[in-house]
Amino acid sequence: MTRLTIDDVYQHIRGVCFKTGPPGTVGAETEWFVVDTADPAAHVPAGRVRALVSGAGPPAAGSRITYEPGGQLELSSAPFRGLGALHTALGRDIAHVRDALAPDGLALAGHGVDPVRRPRFQADHPRYSCMRDYFRAGGFPDAGLAMMCSTASVQVNLDIGADDPDAARRWRLAHALGPVLIAAFANSPMRAGRDTGMRSSRQGIWTELDPCRTLPVLRDGTDGDPAEAWTRYALDARVMLVHTPDGAWVPDPGMSFREWLDKGEPGEDDLAYHLSTLFPPVRPRGWLELRMIDAPPGRYWPVPVAVATALLDDPAASRAAEAAAEPVARRWARAARCGLSDPPLAAAARACFAAALDALPRLGGSGLVPLVEEYARRYVERGRSPADDAPSRPLSEEEQTWPR
């Protein structure tokens, strides 16, 4: 195996993580808690869910189904050219899973953090056991277990950009929009049965976690080379685990990736794996992953996908988003705690939603306009997010149901 140098790391990140090309492709990953409708406070065994979903056969539109360590179910779409195709395909596959679970009394629930149940580790892959051990060794046992077992999100995947200048612009805008998206879609005020005092407890958990791998890459708002910034971030981050040649998994070897390079040990596969263990809110993987959005109530999963895509992909909406988001680009903590009760974040969210609604028809997303408008009226225009819904007022069955 060829050993890496720092120059090799730079080349990999420029050539793979920041591979440019004409924008227009969109994908999404939706995470869900599986609950027993007869006893929502009960933990549902992961094996029971896997058996039901497997028995229903693969989703027709090709979404990949995986499971998080606490049993959360994730559907990851294929990349699509346009929002309309993505919405139709992923909506069909979510309904497929929902229908597979319903006869056994199970349902999909959209929350950023499990509001009732305490974390329960249900994973059997050594990667997750090593991850748990790493967070324990690093002094983050509670936040690490909560992140793995009690959080869920909607992740939006968008192209890097047409060329290097466009990639740098989109990188900066994605970071600037982070606080706006956290605040507008905050949906985790409760954790293990208690009010946390935050609109997005999920973002709070990520903030408590290992800062070398969870803080934003771009934190000071400065312009710069995105590939350079991501390379430095990756080199300085601690190695979470090592997969040895004899097949063993070793957690927390106690060094940064830069220090591991100095030992002359890691190869390109080790670099790729290391990058997969870094979890900033904007992560480049040959596309941009926007990872800061709480899983919304079931009906509204398409809204953050539509809004984020419109704001990054439509030129007019991007210009409006840049102007609206720049004044609040550093309000990550404020967004998690206050949501849209923070006036500057509320003003930015209103401007961004207006720009997105104007852009959606130009992006083939006309069919999503009514749902985005509904969300804007219910929440954004009133300075609220789903976290502000009274616990005694859950969405009705009709409201929970996504278009099919």
The full DSSP string for 232-262 is: HHHHHSBP-EEE-TTS-EEE--S-BHHHHHH
**Helix (H, G, I), strand (E, B), or coil: what is residue 139?**
coil
Alpha helices in 106-163 (DSSP H): 126-137, 141-150
* C-alpha span between 173 and 218 (Å, rounded): 10
The pLDDT score that the predictor gives to residue 249 is: 85
- For the chain, how big is the Rg over CA atoms in Å? 20
In tens, the pLDDT along 149-200 reads 999 999 999 999 999 999 999 999 999 999 999 999 999 999 999 999 999 9
Q: Would you say 299 and 402 are in contact if contact means Cβ atoms under 8 Å apart?
A: yes
In tens, the pLDDT along 198-213 reads 999 999 999 989 999 9
CA angle 32, 34, 35 (to 5 degrees): 135
The pLDDT score that the predictor gives to residue 403 is: 39
**Helix (H, G, I), strand (E, B), or coil: what is residue 83?**
helix
Average pLDDT estimate for 368-387 = 98
The pLDDT score that the predictor gives to residue 62 is: 95
In tens, the pLDDT along 31-44 reads 999 999 999 999 99
* C-alpha span between 287 and 269 (Å, rounded): 19
* C-alpha span between 146 and 192 (Å, rounded): 10
The pLDDT score that the predictor gives to residue 402 is: 40
* C-alpha span between 18 and 28 (Å, rounded): 19
Other C-beta atoms lying within 10 Å of the C-beta of residue 85: 16
All structural domains of the chain: 6-400 (3.30.590.20)
Residue 390 — very low, low, confident or very high, per pLDDT cuts 50/70/90? low
Number of H-type helices and E-type strands within the chain: 17, 12
Q: Would you say 168 and 186 are in contact if contact means Cβ atoms under 8 Å apart?
A: no
Q: Would you say 296 and 185 are in contact if contact means Cβ atoms under 8 Å apart?
A: yes
Closest by alpha carbon to 302, among 87, 32, 77, 85? 87
* C-alpha span between 391 and 404 (Å, rounded): 27
pTM: 0.94
* C-alpha span between 310 and 295 (Å, rounded): 19
The pLDDT score that the predictor gives to residue 395 is: 43
CA angle 114, 109, 393 (to 5 degrees): 85
- Structure tokens of 384? 């609220």
Which contiguous run of DSSP H or E holds residue 338? helix 332-338
